[in-house]
Structure 1
Amino acid sequence: MEVGILDKETLAITLGIIFGFAARLRLLQSDYRQYPTYPHGQVIHLALGLIASALGAVAIPALLKPDYTAVTFLTLAAQQFRDVRNMERETLQKLDETELVPRGFSYIEGIAMVFEGRNYIVILAALFTSAAVMFGGWITGVVVGIVAIVLSSLLKSGKNMGQIGAVYEVPLRVEGASLYAADIYLMNIGLPDNRKRILENGVGIVIEPLNASSRITISNLGQRQAILHDVSSILGVTRDSGEPALTPLAKLDLKDGRLGLVTLPQEKNIPKIIQVIKNVPVLESAVRKPNQFDAKKQV
């Protein structure tokens, strides 16, 4: 009887670790943002994912034994993963200083939050798999583990700009020293040479919000900077350091909430620029939902 229980606990922990680690593998990717870097950054996050899956896998067997001391490691893990978030934030802030078009603090905070949250997802995947093995057998554990991986994949990404706004190209024009994207004022350009370079290399884009909630999200400064950074990181930017007049810019039309952008991509591919902007993630810190406000409930 004791051997059977021991085997069940070992199997529960083993399957919990396997499926928890598989969930972390599924959540890990290096995309156009090139973060985490390949391969060293990935090794760090995979190692943390393995630790997280082990912590989640041992929780249920420890409770059933009972060995409540082992569960306290989950509290220590939470503190450790908060430190991971701080580490990611500090690293990205240092890297941001070398970018021609920086990510901005809101984008960095969002990335750091994601890395912390994904470790908790791994813990839950391992915990549910382990619990399923203990209470339902290894077949149930495998099924629950697969479901956990699928669910974790659904949490991999949230909304993007294409879901909250219409994105289209507009002509850039100069009136005197003022630069406009269609009828949206962008900035004042003093030097004629800079005006010429912007008109030659620049692309005007307008993002039109779909509703009141989208309008507030698009107006967020962090969200605007994220858009400019992603376009510049994928398509390049026709400028060098010490040329502030050639920095990509986003300005809001206060009358209707449209966002006008001027970008100076090295690859002037309009459909690709529009698609890149549509794929920019909506930052959690930029999300507002005034449509859900009910004045009667606030009284």
Structure 2
Amino acid sequence: MIVQRVQLGDELAVSPIGFGAMALTPVYGEVDDTESLATLHRSVDLGVSFIDTANVYGGGQNEKLISRLLAERRDEVTLATKFGITGNPIDGTRGSRGDAAYVRQAIEESLERLGTDVVDLYYMHRRDLTVPIEETVGAMAELVAAGKVRHLGLSEVTADELRAAVAVHPIAAVQSEWSIWSRDVERNVVPTAAELGVGFVPYSPLGRGFLTGTIRSTADLAGDSGFRRALPRFADDALESNLAVVRVISSIADEVGATPAQVALAWLRYRADALGVASVPIPGTRRAARVEENLGSVSVELSAQQVAALDDAGAAVSGNRFGDLSWTSAGRE
């Protein structure tokens, strides 16, 4: 299938919807590698060829899974991976590292696991506050010069950090959480990206599955790793309150003949256009059918009134998007 591409920053063109491969690790439930690989192939078949992984996902196992796709279809994939998170974010033993020596070590390890000689988009996954961002991005720029990386990205950075990075090397994209119920990046980060010509890649654009309407209570989270249950928005009282957002999304989905997931993704497209930033969300899924559903969002049209209703619903969300806000750009602004 041929789909129109979106140009992010630094002349990086990608499919209008990406694929967040973290979902293919046992974060939100058990996974099967055979099914996961089939889902990845179906994604590329459909034209969803912007595949996003990270060295920390599954302790490197996610990159190894992606390598099986790349072994057959490397020239069809725009590959993004990340470095910078150490430990295990799922059990709370997370840290970050951004020194130049680690940047060089991390790319070599990722390239080996991925079975490729170049990464199309290489992200700093989290900021190491003990290291000047200029050092981290300077080391990343050396990887571009060496031909190991084509474009640079940053995840969960503040507007000031983005400006400092762009002064060192062109940045193709900022990746941060952004959705109907996670809009803190709109205050400073998204406008700065738009000003600097940097693209934006929203992760968790479906609210970690909540905005699809498939999660009605904490009982629906029983199969996952416990990660979502530790997030403030998924606590019992907050979750019950936040179902109001889902009801608005579902109502509008009925009006336009789409699914709630498609409406949530379409809202992001309208919001990015309004803020003047090139944006490509990366929803994740274990199911091939969901990839097709997500891609269908690019043709969903919303009225100004419907967009406004979704804006209002998102503004009423209860609970922060993460327990430790220092782990997000909003906690450092």
Asked if Structure 1 and Structure 2 have the same fold, meaning a TM-score greater than 0.5 normalized by the shorter chain, the answer is no
Classify the TM-score, shorter chain: under 0.3
Task: Please identify which structure carries the higher helix content.
Answer: 1
Larger C-alpha radius of gyration, 1 or 2? Answer: 1
